[in-house]
């Protein structure tokens, strides 16, 4: 069984007991425990089930690389899935639950998938996509649904807060092991402003567990002294529980700080995302031990040798009473020695190397541990817990030579430097054949804006160096490369550095590891099918070999086909073993097969940290018109339009939205309506060349417009497509005011600036966006003039202020600019007043209009009225593929101009062509409203077997004015097909029949607006 040892545990405080629950069961641990350590102390070895086959899984690792021990943490607004038990610090009241099982961890129905494993081979998803549809629906989907999903999706809103923090440092050191500490100290002593971050709560990394001495004292003392020295330096910032999440262009990086995951009662944000610019980044990220690929290497109780050592030394936890060590290198002997020292039994060390190990092996033997050279594991016995191993020759095919009873297998396949952060921004790797690992190529560091490399690797993360007699991954080399990296980083930034004397180190010499990619070397199919590479995604040696047989030669393709390395651990344990397996299957060398791309973040970071403060109201600013509060107070139903919110309609008590819209339309058509049109874009275009400039921007002629007059204009992109429309007013000889659509103000302003700055920079034109300087109110309806006349003595008669003219008028003492333009077909004035008096002026108009039953109307009434008149709307009738000619707007395209943006494009053969979908009105045969976006079907089918189409609905409304449904649409050669009836199948299963008609449904001659 796994249990707490009587003594030991350098990270725990036995005086402070902590209570928590796992799957509802009450358990206790000590302060300083990780959840994984505490679970092991409570004999909970099985911590979850795998993703695909729901196989029982126990903890494998002791840190961020853990693939198996993922849990649902917390409840309600604090719930979070997929949290690694190995990096979760326990606290009083913690609630954790295991994942991927039903109904319970011990008894799981989904484990049936394991029985189906023959039918769930590599490329399962790809292969099944080729099956007929019914197979998916009735056969695969139920299986996939049952087995899919890591953890649960949170149901409640996140109850915590998060923040972003911007920081600038000369040197950022990632990793607070002995290498990181030494690199930070070297850079700091040179005077650089340094940030040192460590993802765990502890400084020193794993060096104190691994042993050795620095300057004649235990490593732990050296760590404490170095941390004290760093803390005393004013130019060095130290942060624990902070992970280097990603390295990006030009020295940008993200630090993910977990402020109170370990202390949820504390105040303040839960996570802080540091957005850092660094002159140099030192990756002192250490190394991760590799599993060995033998049959049953996923049975709970099979763990990394280093993890077994960590649980014993750091947490005083015994993962089991009898530990068999299996290795291809010397380091794993440290585990055997530590386990033995803790009073547990080590029945054997299986060393796959025929020649065995060095000094550490001798020490193990001296302690009475049995060492078997050239041997490996043929098979692990046990289902939910290791019961023993069958021992075989590594060089053979798995013939069992001996059975050994044990409850833990501590495995080590060698070490892989953590090169993720080095690689994130393009740092290249080289293959080190001697240590069978990829390591950073210092000649190919990611480069900054100045073209110089900005990332340096330090310690074990740098791999084994060749510029020294001490080649290896030992303590001395770690300190030496760390000092070198810290000093070099500071020197490259111009700081004066001096030689740093290295401490003296005593450590064991190690003999070379020997790569073992499959155990035993000649393992047959049966064994390979039980040898796991990727625990989380259930990828086995046999899956990768199958992929290779099926022609997947590229590592990136194999990864996607088998899902190797695609789980939340991003293949931290499986990557190299998978690559090697693929390389062997292809008969190529590992560096030829290459490696997959490492992408940030290093381990998953919370969605909350990514969002930071940008949530709810602060996610995006809300733009308010001067009359916004009035709309709010008067029950407006809001419609979001860009960052604005506009009243859709103003429903009265008990009134439906449709009824409100109908009432607003009828009141406006019959008497008087008011619309808040402030959101319309208003751009002032000014200068001696303003007319010439607008002639290029609009399809029609603007330079001939007389001051005091207005003209409707269309704007196209250089590709010919309609991008915006609006009314242009000429204020004086040099000045125009261009109205844009509500969403278009910023976009069109930028469009104008781009052409002025980058193409016609010698033209004398200035553009200013004055959208928010004015409140704009449309006064609409047969009584519009009468109500304005109540507010002024000035002449606003039809003669003095005709249709498509504007005039400055003082209305009730307010300086107003009155544009007589109409988007409704009614007598209509749009009145612009300074934004500061907008709200008061709106109130004055309501008062003055009372006798005419003045009715504020919203965007939907606006839309209905414009559709009744056949006016197009950008975004409804246009979608980025529509040219003005498609919309019957030839009248707004100047034939006299040599050039305008889009003119050349519109001369292309497929645009200057009647064989296009063009604007028409559509009227259902029975008077109902057509479904929005419905397609008109044609005879026959296309190459994909889909029904051919010949048009679509672009706008559709019920017209209260006409008492029937009206619509506009684009129909193939539509204007030539008046009276034809088309079929529009709806998503409701019904087919709507509609007749092609003129798009102007109401007041075709414009008698109402020209009064």
Partner 1 sequence: MLILDCPYCGVTAEETEFHGGGEAHLKRFGPGSSDEDFEGYLFHRENPRGVHFERWRHVNGCGKWFHVARDTATLEVFGSYSAQVTEPPQEIRDAITAKRPGWRWREFA
β partners of residue 869: none
Q: Would you say 251 or 825 has its CB closer to partner 1? A: 251
Whether 476 contacts 507, CB under 8 Å: yes
Both tokens of 152, joined, read 């649960």
Stretch that binds partner 1, among 102-110, 410-418, 598-606, 751-759 (CB under 8 A): 751-759
Q: Taking the C-alpha atoms of 689, 690, 691 and 695 in order, what is their torsion angle to the nearest 10 degrees?
A: 100
Smallest distance from the beta carbon of 726 to partner 1, in angstroms? 22
Q: Would you say 251 or 398 has its CB closer to partner 1? A: 251
Both tokens of 983, joined, read 């079929």
Tell me if 952 contacts partner 1 by CB under 8 A.
no
Whether 264 contacts 91, CB under 8 Å: yes
For residues 891-950, which are near partner 1 according to CB under 8 A?
898-899, 903-905, 907-908
Q: Would you say 116 or 750 has its CB closer to partner 1? A: 750
Both tokens of 15, joined, read 């005086």
Q: Would you say 373 or 717 has its CB closer to partner 1? A: 717
Q: How far is CA 857 from CA 409, 673, 769, in A?
A: 76, 6, 26
Place of tokens 């695909």: 52
Tell me if 556 contacts partner 1 by CB under 8 A.
no
Residues 106, 472: Cα–Cα separation, whole Å: 44
Site pattern 639..678 for partner 1 (x: CB under 8 A): ----------------------------------------
- Report how far Cα 102 is from the mean position of its chain's Cα atoms: 30
Tell me if 134 contacts partner 1 by CB under 8 A.
no
What radius of gyration do the chain's Cα atoms show?
37
- Report how far Cα 305 is from the mean position of its chain's Cα atoms: 35
For residues 261-280, which are near partner 1 according to CB under 8 A?
277
Stretch that binds partner 1, among 72-80, 448-456, 939-947, 987-995 (CB under 8 A): 448-456
Smallest distance from the beta carbon of 747 to partner 1, in angstroms? 12
Q: Would you say 137 or 250 has its CB closer to partner 1? A: 250
β partners of residue 283: 174, 457
# residues contacting partner 1 (CB under 8 A): 28
Smallest distance from the beta carbon of 771 to partner 1, in angstroms? 16
Q: Would you say 301 or 440 has its CB closer to partner 1? A: 440
CB count in 10 Å sphere of residue 102:
13
Both tokens of 924, joined, read 């259902």
Smallest distance from the beta carbon of 427 to partner 1, in angstroms? 12
Stretch that binds partner 1, among 38-46, 449-457, 644-652, 771-779 (CB under 8 A): 449-457
Q: Would you say 757 or 944 has its CB closer to partner 1? A: 757
Please give the full DSSP string across 299-329, using - where no structure is assigned.
Answer: STTEEEHHHHHHHHHHH-EES-SBEEEEESS
Tell me the backbone φ, ψ of residue 35, rounded to 5 degrees: -60, -40
CA geometry: angle 324, 327, 332, nearest 5 deg: 80
Could you say which DSSP state residue 405 is in? E
Nearest Cα residue to 199 out of 166, 176, 231: 176
For residues 9-68, which are near partner 1 according to CB under 8 A?
none
Smallest distance from the beta carbon of 746 to partner 1, in angstroms? 10
Smallest distance from the beta carbon of 893 to partner 1, in angstroms? 13
Stretch that binds partner 1, among 46-54, 125-133, 354-362, 749-757 (CB under 8 A): 749-757
> Where does residue 137 rank: exposed (0-12), middle (13-18), buried (19+ CB within 10 A)?
exposed
Q: Taking the C-alpha atoms of 314, 68, 48 and 523 in order, what is their torsion angle to the nearest 10 degrees?
A: -110
Stretch that binds partner 1, among 484-492, 705-713, 755-763, 913-921 (CB under 8 A): 755-763
Both tokens of 782, joined, read 């047969």
Smallest distance from the beta carbon of 918 to partner 1, in angstroms? 23
Whether 805 contacts 820, CB under 8 Å: yes
Q: Would you say 758 or 987 has its CB closer to partner 1? A: 758
Q: Would you say 454 or 517 has its CB closer to partner 1? A: 454
Tell me if 249 contacts partner 1 by CB under 8 A.
yes
Stretch that binds partner 1, among 103-111, 321-329, 447-455, 951-959 (CB under 8 A): 447-455
Smallest distance from the beta carbon of 556 to partner 1, in angstroms? 19
Tell me if 599 contacts partner 1 by CB under 8 A.
no
Q: Quote the crossing angle between the two packed helices 555-562 and 541-549, to the nearest 10°.
A: 120
Smallest distance from the beta carbon of 248 to partner 1, in angstroms? 6
Q: Quote the crossing angle between the two packed helices 555-562 and 575-586, to the nearest 10°.
A: 110
Tell me if 443 contacts partner 1 by CB under 8 A.
no
For residues 760-779, which are near partner 1 according to CB under 8 A?
761
Stretch that binds partner 1, among 242-250, 327-335, 468-476, 821-829 (CB under 8 A): 242-250
Both tokens of 44, joined, read 């909970």
Stretch that binds partner 1, among 389-397, 476-484, 579-587, 748-756 (CB under 8 A): 748-756
Site pattern 355..394 for partner 1 (x: CB under 8 A): ----------------------------------------
For residues 471-510, which are near partner 1 according to CB under 8 A?
none
Residues 167, 156: Cα–Cα separation, whole Å: 32
Please give the full DSSP string across 11-41, using - where no structure is assigned.
Answer: T-EEEEEEEEEETTEEEEEEET-BHHHHHHH
- Chosen residue from 175, 180, 448, 520 binding partner 1 by CB under 8 A: 448
Tell me if 613 contacts partner 1 by CB under 8 A.
no
HEC letters along 873-917: CCCCCCCCCCCHHHHCCHHHCCCCCCCCCCHHHHCCCCCCCCCCE
Smallest distance from the beta carbon of 249 to partner 1, in angstroms? 5
- Chosen residue from 141, 402, 759, 912 binding partner 1 by CB under 8 A: 759
Could you say which DSSP state residue 60 is in? -
- Chosen residue from 14, 250, 549, 557 binding partner 1 by CB under 8 A: 250
Whether 284 contacts 179, CB under 8 Å: yes
Q: Would you say 278 or 585 has its CB closer to partner 1? A: 278
Residues 481, 459: Cα–Cα separation, whole Å: 5
Smallest distance from the beta carbon of 443 to partner 1, in angstroms? 13
At 532, is the secondary structure helix, strand, or coil? strand
Q: Would you say 426 or 975 has its CB closer to partner 1? A: 426
Smallest distance from the beta carbon of 903 to partner 1, in angstroms? 5
Tell me if 614 contacts partner 1 by CB under 8 A.
no
- Give me the half-sphere count of Cα atoms (radius 13 Å) on the Cβ side of residue 380: 33
426: alpha, beta or left? (left if phi > 0; alpha if psi -120 to 50): left
Stretch that binds partner 1, among 234-242, 246-254, 722-730, 775-783 (CB under 8 A): 246-254
Place of tokens 């029945």: 347
Smallest distance from the beta carbon of 510 to partner 1, in angstroms? 38
Tell me if 758 contacts partner 1 by CB under 8 A.
yes
Q: Where do contacts with partner 1 occur on this chain (CB under 8 A)?
A: 248-252, 277, 426, 447-451, 718-719, 750, 753-754, 757-759, 761, 898-899, 903-905, 907-908
């Amino acid at each position: 069984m796994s249990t707490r040892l009587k003594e030991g545990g350098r990270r725990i405080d036995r005086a402070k007991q902590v209570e928590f629950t796992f799957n509802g069961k009450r358990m206790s641990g000590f302060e300083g425990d990780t959840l994984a350590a505490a679970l092991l102390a409570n004999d909970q070895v099985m911590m979850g089930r795998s993703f695909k086959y729901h196989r029982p899984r126990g903890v494998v690792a002791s840190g961020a690389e853990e693939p198996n021990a993922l849990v649902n943490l917390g409840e309600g607004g604090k719930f979070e899935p997929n949290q690694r038990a190995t990096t979760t610090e326990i606290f009083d009241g913690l609630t954790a639950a295991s994942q991927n099982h039903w109904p319970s961890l011990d008894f799981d129905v989904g484990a049936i998938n394991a029985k189906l494993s023959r039918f769930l081979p590599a490329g399962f998803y790809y292969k099944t996509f080729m099956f007929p549809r019914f197979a998916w629906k009735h056969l695969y989907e139920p299986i996939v649904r049952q087995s899919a999903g890591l953890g649960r999706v949170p149901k409640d809103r996140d109850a915590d807060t998060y923040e972003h923090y911007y920081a600038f440092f000369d040197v950022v050191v990632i990793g607070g092991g002995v290498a990181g500490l030494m690199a930070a100290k070297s850079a700091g002593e040179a005077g650089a402003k340094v940030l040192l971050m460590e993802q765990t709560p502890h400084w020193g990394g794993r060096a104190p567990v691994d042993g050795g001495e620095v300057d004649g004292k235990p490593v732990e003392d050296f760590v404490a002294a170095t941390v004290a020295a760093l803390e005393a330096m004013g130019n060095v910032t130290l942060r624990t529980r902070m992970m280097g999440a990603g390295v990006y262009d030009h020295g940008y990086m993200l630090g993910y700080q977990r402020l109170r995951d370990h202390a949820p009662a504390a105040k303040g944000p839960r996570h802080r995302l540091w957005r850092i610019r660094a002159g140099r980044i030192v990756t002192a990220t250490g190394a991760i031990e590799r599993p060995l690929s033998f049959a049953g290497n996923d049975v709970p109780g099979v763990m990394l040798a280093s993890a077994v050592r960590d649980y014993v030394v750091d947490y005083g936890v015994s993962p089991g009473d009898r530990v068999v060590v299996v290795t291809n290198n010397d380091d794993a002997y440290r585990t055997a020695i530590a386990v033995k020292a803790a009073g547990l039994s080590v029945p054997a060390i299986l060393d796959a190397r025929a020649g065995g190990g060095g000094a550490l092996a001798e020490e193990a033997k001296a302690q009475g541990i049995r060492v078997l050279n050239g041997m490996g594991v043929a098979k692990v016995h046990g289902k939910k817990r290791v019961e023993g191993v069958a021992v075989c020759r590594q060089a053979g095919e798995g013939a069992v030579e001996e059975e050994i009873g044990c409850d833990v297998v501590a495995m080590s396949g060698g070490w892989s430097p953590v090169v993720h952060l080095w690689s994130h921004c393009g740092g290249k790797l080289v293959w080190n054949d001697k240590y069978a690992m990829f390591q950073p190529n210092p000649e190919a560091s990611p480069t900054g804006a100045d073209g110089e490399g900005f990332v340096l690797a330090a310690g074990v993360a740098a791999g084994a160096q060749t510029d020294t007699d001490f080649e290896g991954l030992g303590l001395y080399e770690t300190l030496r490369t760390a000092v070198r990296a810290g000093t070099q980083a500071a020197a490259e930034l111009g700081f004066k550095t001096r030689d740093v004397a290295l401490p003296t180190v005593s450590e064991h010499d190690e003999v070379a590891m020997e790569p073992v990619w499959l155990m035993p070397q000649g393992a047959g199919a049966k064994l390979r099918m039980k040898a796991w590479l990727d625990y989380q995604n259930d990828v086995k040696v046999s899956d990768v070999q199958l992929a290779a047989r099926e022609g997947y030669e590229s590592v990136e393709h194999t990864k996607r086909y088998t899902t190797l390395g695609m789980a939340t651990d991003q293949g931290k344990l499986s990557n190299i073993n998978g690559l090697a397996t693929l390389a062997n299957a292809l008969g190529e060398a590992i560096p030829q097969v290459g490696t997959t791309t490492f992408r940030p973040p290093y381990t998953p970071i919370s969605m909350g940290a990514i969002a930071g403060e940008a949530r709810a109201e602060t996610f995006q600013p809300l733009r308010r018109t001067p009359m916004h509060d009035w709309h709010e107070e008067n029950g407006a139903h809001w419609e979001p339009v860009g960052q604005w919110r506009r009243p859709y309609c103003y429903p009265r008590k008990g009134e439906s939205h449709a009824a409100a819209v109908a009432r607003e339309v009828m009141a406006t058509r019959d008497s008087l309506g008011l619309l808040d049109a402030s959101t319309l874009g208003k751009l002032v275009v000014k200068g001696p060349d303003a007319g010439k400039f607008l002639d290029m921007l609009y399809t029609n002629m603007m330079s001939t417009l007389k001051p005091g007059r207005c003209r409707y204009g269309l704007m196209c992109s250089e590709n010919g497509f309609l991008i915006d429309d609006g009314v242009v007013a000429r204020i004086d000889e040099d000045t125009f005011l261009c109205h844009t659509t509500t969403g278009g103000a910023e976009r069109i302003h930028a469009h104008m600036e781009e052409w002025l700055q980058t193409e016609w920079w010698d033209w004398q034109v200035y553009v200013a966006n004055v959208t928010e300087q004015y409140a704009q109110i449309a006064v609409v309806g047969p009584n519009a003039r009468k109500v304005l006349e109540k507010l002024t003595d000035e002449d606003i008669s039809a003669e003095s202020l005709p249709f498509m003219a504007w005039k400055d008028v003082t209305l009730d003492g307010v300086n107003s600019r009155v544009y007589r333009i109409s988007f409704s077909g009614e007598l209509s004035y749009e009145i612009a007043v300074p934004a500061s008096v907008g709200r008061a002026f709106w109130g004055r108009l309501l008062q003055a209009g009372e006798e005419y039953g003045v009715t504020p109307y919203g965007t939907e009434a606006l839309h209905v009225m414009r559709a009744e008149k056949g006016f197009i709307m950008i975004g409804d009738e246009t979608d980025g593929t529509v040219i003005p000619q498609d919309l019957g707007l030839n009248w707004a395209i100047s034939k006299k101009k040599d050039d305008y943006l889009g003119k050349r494009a519109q001369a292309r053969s497929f645009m200057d062509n009647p064989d296009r979908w063009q604007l028409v009105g559509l009227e259902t045969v029975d008077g109902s409203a057509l479904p929005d976006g419905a397609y008109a079907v044609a005879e026959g089918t296309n190459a994909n077997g889909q029904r051919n189409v010949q048009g679509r609905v672009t706008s559709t409304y019920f017209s209260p004015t006409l008492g029937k449904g009206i619509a506009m649409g684009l129909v193939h050669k539509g204007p030539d097909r008046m009276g034809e009836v088309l079929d529009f199948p709806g998503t409701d299963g019904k087919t709507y029949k509609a007749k092609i008609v003129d798009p102007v449904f109401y007041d075709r001659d414009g008698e109402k607006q020209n009064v």
